[in-house]
């Protein structure tokens, strides 16, 4: 499905198409509708750029307890 937003609308809200996609991706990530990877892909930003975009919008990166346990195990840290 394609969504078309006219240049006139983007100009009126002082945004580029890229800005709009980044805002949408950040919003959907914040609402847990997209994973970090999929939201990053939607925004067209790489991992670090998308992480920065989230920080600029005061959106925390979601880090599940399961992911923490996997990371601790991989690092050889026992709790």
Q: If pLDDT is split at 50, 70 and 90, which confidence band does 76 have?
A: very high
Question: What pLDDT, on the 0 to 100 scale, is given for residue 65?
Answer: 86
- pLDDT tens per residue across span 1-60: 888 999 999 999 999 999 999 999 999 999 999 999 999 999 999 999 999 999 999 999
**For the CA atoms of 1, 47, 33, 62, what is the dihedral angle to 10 degrees?**
180
Domain boundaries, the chain: 7-74
Q: Looking at the whole model, is its pTM more than 0.95? A: no
């Amino acid at each position: 499905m394609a969504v078309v937003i006219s240049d006139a609308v983007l100009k009126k809200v002082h945004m580029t198409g890229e800005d709009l996609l980044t805002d949408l991706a950040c919003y959907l990530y914040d609402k847990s509708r997209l994973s970090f990877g999929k939201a990053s892909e939607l925004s067209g930003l790489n991992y670090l750029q998308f992480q920065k975009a989230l920080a600029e919008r005061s959106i925390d990166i979601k880090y599940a307890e399961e992911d923490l346990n996997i990371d601790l195990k991989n690092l050889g840290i026992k709790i």
